[in-house]
Structure 1
Amino acid sequence: MKVLHIIPDVNAGGASKGAYRIHKAVQKLGVDSHLLVLKKNFEEAKIENVNAGLLGWLGRKLYKEINRGLNKPFAQFKTENQALHSYGLARRGILQKINQSDADIVHLHWVSNMLSIEEIGKITKPIAWTFHDMWPLCGAEHYVMDDSPNARFRVGYLVNNQPAYETGPDFNRFTWERKLAAWSNTTFHIATCSQWLADCASASPLFQHGSIRAINYPLDVETTFFPSPKIQARSEFGLPPDKKIILAGAIDSVNSHYKGGDLLKQAVIHIANTGRTDIVVALFGEKAETQFTDWALPVFNVGRIFDEKLLGKLYSAADVVVMPSRQEAFGQVASEAQACGTPAVVFNKSGPIDIVAHKQTGYLATPFDTQDLAQGITWVLDQENLGNSLSLPSRQRALTLFSPQVAGEKYLALYRAALSG
């Protein structure tokens, strides 16, 4: 069985990390798995860069200019939704390459800047599609906070239900209607990275009659994300050996609206107000020169970490990992932390619900209650002193749910379903 994965880059963001981990998981089970990417971040067999060489470079420059021109009309559209918006106009010239390849299955990932909406509907091979965010079932938005029964992704993008926080032309409806038209005769075999996202996809008029299953992202739980000696790990990062350490971070900073850095900062104020002096904060994913002197507790900025094995050691250095995101399709920071034996605190909403078992491997806080978030953090920090270590259950949950074998077998079933139609 030969599978061709379509993803912009490798191991750069959450979606590309997830796609690469899926690729490696199915490879271990004998699948002839290949990646077609726009940017090859490192040399490895079976990863093809469509922008390679001078012609690829010229094509990339040309695409940028064409895309800039196509997107000019969308400047009239205004929204308070801070999530990325993609209008599915990209044409990278790879459709023919995909259809003429010897792959048995095309596995789509985060493709909104690789294939246009119309091109996705013209793929002639069996299609598996992993949803890494909400873009496939929304208009142009990659995330929407409205999860109510009347949310547009549930009832359709209608003429009369444009939200009040949007002004100007309804380009989200325009994008959604193009999806409806282009994909009406296409069969997708869909995997989502969490049960929450699977439920959202099942409710969507675009996919409610499709094959949808939740498959959590796999992790290398043996050689990358595993428990390391805590004191040794702290020494490597210059972290204090005698304090309780709250760790938080994201690839490009936790201080964005969706990643919830402001909520964590407020929770830290609540903790500081209790008079605790034994707790400090460590942040990763921030620029090395960034200072956090306005936080209520001391903050250690460990900078950006691109080596995953080093990231695993950082998780081991912490007593608790906090992922204060307002919304996550899954939340690999929490699953990676648990694989390293470090409990996680998250909000009881969206993808992270799959990861954390409340008061067993961490704490599910009331969304988006910073007082309860603070309570969850201190509850976890105090368990070790009470003889109730959460480390072993956290590690065991990761082995049970996120090992490559578990995810790989589920993707093999997905591929077989796609081949059988």
Structure 2
Amino acid sequence: MKILFINYWDKTGGAAIAAHRLYRGLLNRGVKVEYLVQHKITDDENVHLVSQPGYINKIVNKYSEKKINKEKSKLETMFPWSINLNQSNIIRDIKKINPDVVHFHWIGHNLVNIGSFLKINKPIVWTLHDSWAFTGGCHIPYDCRGYENECGSCPQLKSDKVKDLSSTVLEEKQKTISQVKNITIVCPSKWLTVCAKKSSVLKRNTIYNIPNGLNINVFKEYDSGNKKRFGFSKNKKIVLFGSVGSLIDENKGAALLLEAIRRLLLTRNDIELAIFGSEKRNIEVDCNTIFLGNINDEEELSSIYSCVDVFVAPSKSENLPNTVLESLASGTPVVAFNIGGIPDIITHKFNGYLAKPFDVNDLSDGIGWVLDNKKRLESNTSKSIKEKFDIENISETYIKLYNEII
């Protein structure tokens, strides 16, 4: 059995990391896996760059992008958008590799033309890492539910037109996906599964809920007394926050966290803040802040989680965040808002704290509660991950799925 993974990056960003962990898990179980990406940072010989479009397609793409960018220019920076109506050579690449199953992951930024799905004569699995597969272009719809019927008058595009770019993209997806005969959708969280089943694009498709996983032999409880190694104060409670672009990506909720920390500092002086995934910046908070930069080594990242007292994930929208899995697997409880797929991982006051969505007071209270009750939670953290999110078990579930559809 040969599986072809297709993703925008091979190992950068949450979707790429989740896909790469599954890729490694499948290889460990003897499955042959090839990988097609737009951007490659590893030296893995199984990972290939997609072919660039030919001269004619480049001209067509340049013209269409000029028209599309007029509407996309209205977007605020916090809204990631993908159109995927451009031409590409992805079908030629797929035919060359000749897999038994084509497994799509995050394919935004025009990696795969939507119409290309109709030209693939192999079984398709599509693991959704956000909502883009069934929306009119946005990756995070927030409170908008236009995708359940018809997009148009898009709030993210600030459009008042019923027939706008979002309606064009959604109609193309509806038309294409309805004609693809052998496609199976996988959603890592229960929340995204429900959203996909309600969507006008995917409601007629087979949809499974299979969570992302991680290597529990790498993400495990390390020496929690190793604070000095990372510059943490010995006698302080360490609050950790981080993700790719943690202070840049507005969806990750840094502003909400900082406000919660300010409120917490009104009643206690034992807090130290640590941040990874972002360069050092001036942040207005009256406690010592340690910037850890980008952490690419997973054992080092797990060691950091093990040394801190709480990890906070104050995102405004999430599917099944890797960071929450990583922290719990490393023995550290998590505070997050009760949104998206986070309740699939955190059980309130068992292995963390679920704050009322976007209530800074409750987020602050949750951080304080976990700091005061960490000993009580520690025995539940890694255990909850080993039971449900071990990548070896997740890989086996996917192998069974592949065998069913071949």
Question: In structure 1, how many angstroms separate the alpha carbons of the residues matched to 2:366 and 2:55?
Answer: 48
Q: Which residue of 1 aligns with 2:379?
A: 392
Q: Which residue of 2 aligns with 1:266?
A: 259
CA shift for structure 1 position 197: 0.7
CA shift for structure 1 position 415: 1.3
Alpha-carbon spacing, 1:314–1:184, altered in 2? closer, same or farther (3 Å): same
CA shift for structure 1 position 253: 2.0
Confirm or deny: 8 A CA contact 1:99 1:125 kept in the other structure: no
Question: In structure 2, how many angstroms separate the alpha carbons of the residues matched to 1:369 and 1:336?
Answer: 24
Question: In structure 2, how many angstroms separate the alpha carbons of the residues matched to 1:305 and 1:281?
Answer: 16
1:255-404 map, 5 Å: 255-274=248-267, 276-287=268-279, 289-292=280-283, 294-384=284-374, 388-404=375-391
CA shift for structure 1 position 139: 0.7
Q: Which residue of 2 aligns with 1:9?
A: 9
TM-score scaled by length of structure 1: 0.89
CA shift for structure 1 position 102: 2.6
Question: In structure 2, how many angstroms separate the alpha carbons of the residues matched to 1:152 and 1:367?
Answer: 22
Q: Structure 1 residue 192 and structure 2 residue 181: aligned?
A: no
Question: In structure 2, how many angstroms separate the alpha carbons of the residues matched to 1:300 and 1:308?
Answer: 19
Identity, in percent, stands at 32
Confirm or deny: 8 A CA contact 1:347 1:364 kept in the other structure: yes
Question: In structure 2, how many angstroms separate the alpha carbons of the residues matched to 1:340 and 1:62?
Answer: 51
Q: What is the DSSP-based 3-state SS (H/G/I as helix, E as strand, rest coil) of the residue aligned with 2:140?
A: coil
Equivalent of 1:221, from 193, 206, 216?
Answer: 216
Question: In structure 2, how many angstroms separate the alpha carbons of the residues matched to 1:304 and 1:82?
Answer: 21
Question: In structure 1, how many angstroms separate the alpha carbons of the residues matched to 2:133 and 2:202?
Answer: 9
Equivalent of 2:89, from 87, 93, 109?
Answer: 93
1:122-141 map, 5 Å: 122-141=119-138
Question: In structure 1, how many angstroms separate the alpha carbons of the residues matched to 2:32 and 2:156?
Answer: 48
Confirm or deny: 8 A CA contact 1:226 1:339 kept in the other structure: yes
Q: What do residues 180-234 of structure 1 show as CA deviations (whole Å, max 9, x unaligned)? A: 1122211321111211111111111111111111111110110x211111221x2
Gaps of 5+ in 2: none
Q: What is the DSSP-based 3-state SS (H/G/I as helix, E as strand, rest coil) of the residue aligned with 2:252?
A: coil
Letter in 2 for 1:98: I
Question: In structure 1, how many angstroms separate the alpha carbons of the residues matched to 2:302 and 2:60?
Answer: 41
Equivalent of 1:157, from 146, 151, 154?
Answer: 151
1:54-133 map, 5 Å: 67-77=61-71, 78-80=74-76, 82-112=78-108, 113-133=110-130
Gaps of 5+ in 1: none
Q: What is the DSSP-based 3-state SS (H/G/I as helix, E as strand, rest coil) of the residue aligned with 2:241?
A: strand
Q: What is the DSSP-based 3-state SS (H/G/I as helix, E as strand, rest coil) of the residue aligned with 2:403?
A: helix
Q: What do residues 300-336 of structure 1 show as CA deviations (whole Å, max 9, x unaligned)? A: 1111212222111111111000000000111111110
Confirm or deny: 8 A CA contact 2:78 2:249 kept in the other structure: no
May I ask how many residue pairs the two structures share in their alignment? 400
Q: What is the DSSP-based 3-state SS (H/G/I as helix, E as strand, rest coil) of the residue aligned with 1:373?
A: helix
Letter in 2 for 1:302: L
Confirm or deny: 8 A CA contact 2:219 2:299 kept in the other structure: yes
Question: In structure 2, how many angstroms separate the alpha carbons of the residues matched to 1:130 and 1:216?
Answer: 10
Alpha-carbon spacing, 1:240–1:120, altered in 2? closer, same or farther (3 Å): same
1:3-42 map, 5 Å: 3-42=3-42
TM-score scaled by length of structure 2: 0.93
Alpha-carbon spacing, 1:80–1:168, altered in 2? closer, same or farther (3 Å): farther
Question: In structure 2, how many angstroms separate the alpha carbons of the residues matched to 1:188 and 1:98?
Answer: 16
Q: What is the DSSP-based 3-state SS (H/G/I as helix, E as strand, rest coil) of the residue aligned with 1:389?
A: helix
Question: In structure 2, how many angstroms separate the alpha carbons of the residues matched to 1:237 and 1:376?
Answer: 25
Letter in 2 for 1:286: S
Q: Structure 1 residue 181 and structure 2 residue 169: aligned?
A: no
Give the stretch that moved more between structures: 246-255 or 276-285.
246-255
